[in-house]
Amino acid sequence: MESLVSFKNGQLELRGILHVPNCTQDKVGVILLCPGYKHRVGQRRLYVQIARRLRDAGFYVLRYDFHGLGESDGEIRRCLFGDFWDFVQTGGFVSDTRSAVDFFRDVAKMEKLILMGLCGGAITGIIEAAKDSRVDGLVLLNVPVMAQHATRDWFIDRMPPGLADSLFSAYVKRLLSVQSWLRFLTFKTEYRVLWKSITSKFSRRYVRSSRSGPENEECDDAVNPHFVRSFRSYCSSKRPLLFIFSGNDKQKWAFEAEFQQRYLHPGNPYEDFYSIFVIDRANHSFTLQEWRDALLEKTVTWLQDHLNGGTGTEHGQTEASRNGEMQDEEKIVTR
């Protein structure tokens, strides 16, 4: 069953859809947080699919619109996307999330509660969860870790190893393509990208970014200090966290190069509380059904393992294997 719900954050009415399972043993609820400026439906209707699948597995799911987005009250003025990004990255929608938690706990009477979100929804979720002990678990999809909007140029300049590998393999595949050589010889190739990918691939030297600003007391790098603080605080409280990344997404490459290498070294104090799952080849919003299936299967299995929720109708059958490159990481290979 899907019903329309609304609740207030101050004077603003926030509106959403509550997905109610047919039968369930526990009242375990998942709140889906808007991915950036995309509203409760999600990119490519991803959130509708997630909500319906989790409901079928026995979970309550709330997907709602932040203020100024979708069907909710409030206004967000026209702005550069980078400015919108800054607003999200610094917790601009955290009070809306707190209101949703209030609603889910106090009105819908959930016994356990998980925050889940893609991209901007993921960063909003971890900032809120770090401050709110009523949140029992976190599922973060392609969480962005950079303090500022990392543009295409930033990625080309920095060339994280994951991106270098991806570009390099693409160039190798095109070696026998007449069209590719024509582009190369007629100056249509992006030589800077080609050169950076080759040099980065073979040098394997990656120098993490630095950043200046008033919040440098927390971290002396380009990683979002809100993310670092929230991650530490959340994991210190020994609550479970699942990172899911798309293998072919810039957020994964930035996470590995800028955050994981620095903060998640083997033996770090938080490693018992988080796990990382990578869906090979997938893109940012998991547009292929096989990627979505892998995402949903992993999520349902993880929720059942960590929160004893749902009816257990969708036990995961993921053929996951340990990834040798990174500790605690599982990788599913899709064809």
Residue 37 as a binder of other proteins (CB under 8 A): the answer is yes
Kindly tell me which residue out of 11, 22, 23, 80 binds other proteins, with binding defined by CB under 8 A.
80
Binding mask 235-254 vs other proteins (x if CB under 8 A, - otherwise)? -------------x------
- Which residues from 179-218 bind other proteins, rule CB under 8 A? none
Candidate ranges 40-48, 129-137, 185-193, 301-309; the one touching other proteins (CB under 8 A): 40-48
Structure tokens at 191: 């030589």
Q: Of 76 and 107, which has the nearer Cβ to other proteins?
A: 76
- Residue 16 or 225: the one with the smaller Cβ distance to other proteins is 16
DSSP-derived letter for residue 89 is H
Q: Are 28 and 60 in contact (CB under 8 A)?
A: yes
Residues numbered 150-169 forming contacts with other proteins, rule: CB under 8 A: 169
The answer to whether 39 touches 71, Cβ cutoff 8 Å, is yes
Q: Judged by CB under 8 A, which stretch of 188-196, 211-219, 284-292, 293-301 contacts other proteins? A: 284-292
R_g of the chain computed on alpha carbons: 20
Contact 245, 142 (CB under 8 A): yes
Helix intervals (H) in 237-311: 250-254, 261-263, 289-307
Q: Find where tokens 């319906």 sit.
A: 52
Residue 20 CB: number of other CB atoms within 10 A?
13
Rounded CA gap, 137 and 134, in Å? 9
Query: Interacting stretch for other proteins, rule CB under 8 A, among 72-80, 136-144, 195-203, 221-229?
Result: 72-80
> What angle, 0 to 180 degrees and rounded to 10, lies between the N-to-C axes of helices 94-102 and 120-131?
60
- Residue choice 8, 10, 25, 81 for contact with other proteins (CB under 8 A): 81
Q: Which residues pair with 277 in a beta bridge?
A: 244, 330
Which amino acid does the sequence have at 265?
H
The region of 25-33, 73-81, 107-115, 124-132 touching other proteins under the rule CB under 8 A is 73-81
Minimum CB–partner distance for residue 259 and other proteins (Å): 23
Span near other proteins by CB under 8 A; candidates 62-70, 91-99, 187-195, 256-264: 62-70
By the rule CB under 8 A, 19 interacts with other proteins: no
Give me the least distance between CB of 238 and other proteins, in Å please.
36
**Angle between the N-to-C axes of helices 46-56 and 289-307, in degrees from 0 to 180, rounded to the nearest 10:** 40
Q: Given the rule CB under 8 A, which residues bind other proteins?
A: 2, 4, 6, 15, 17, 37-41, 43-46, 48, 68-71, 75-81, 84, 169-170, 173-174, 248, 281-283, 285-289, 292
